[in-house]
Amino acid sequence: MSVTEHKSYPQPVEDTDNTEYLEGWRHGSLLLQQCNSCKEVIFYPRSMCPHCWSDSLAWIKASGRGTVVSYSLIHRPNHPSFTDEVPVILAEIKLEEGTSMLARVLTEHIHTGMNVELADDPESVRKYPLPIFRPS
């Protein structure tokens, strides 16, 4: 399947909290927020630190490396654009920066504890509207 056939992927809704995050991925980077007050790194993008309630947050570039905590194989797509790709693997990934995120992992075999990295090659960045991972 060519890249252009994936234009029908559901697109994320951009808002004032996630614009930087989405723009980062358009350039192949995973951007996370770090609290300027307590220094915790957080995901998902938001306007306030969930640890200390500070609204002073900075964007940092993540290493893109993490470990699979848990995962699910999705056999019944919730959108027609995924029909040819099932099963889709959605995983909770513990990032090196300490926070966790949910993301797709491009692989046939997955297990908890597996090391993954951001799939930041140009084709993946063009194809997928959100950061995506692969085994490292």
Closer to Zn ion by Cβ: residue 35 or 114 = 35
Size of the site for Zn ion (CB under 5 A): 7
The reply on whether position 38 binds Zn ion by CB under 5 A is yes
51, 55, 63, 115: residue in contact with Zn ion (rule CB under 5 A): 51
Map tokens 């927020």 to a residue. Answer: 33
Residue 42 lies near Zn ion (rule: CB under 5 A): no
- Listed residue (28, 40, 102, 30) closest to 68, CA to CA: 102
Whole-angstrom Cα distance, residue 52 to residue 6? 40
> From the CB of 51, what's the least distance to Zn ion, in Å?
4
Peptide linkage before 87 cis (omega within 30 of 0):
yes
Which residue ranges make up the site for Zn ion (CB under 5 A)? 35, 37-38, 49, 51-52, 54
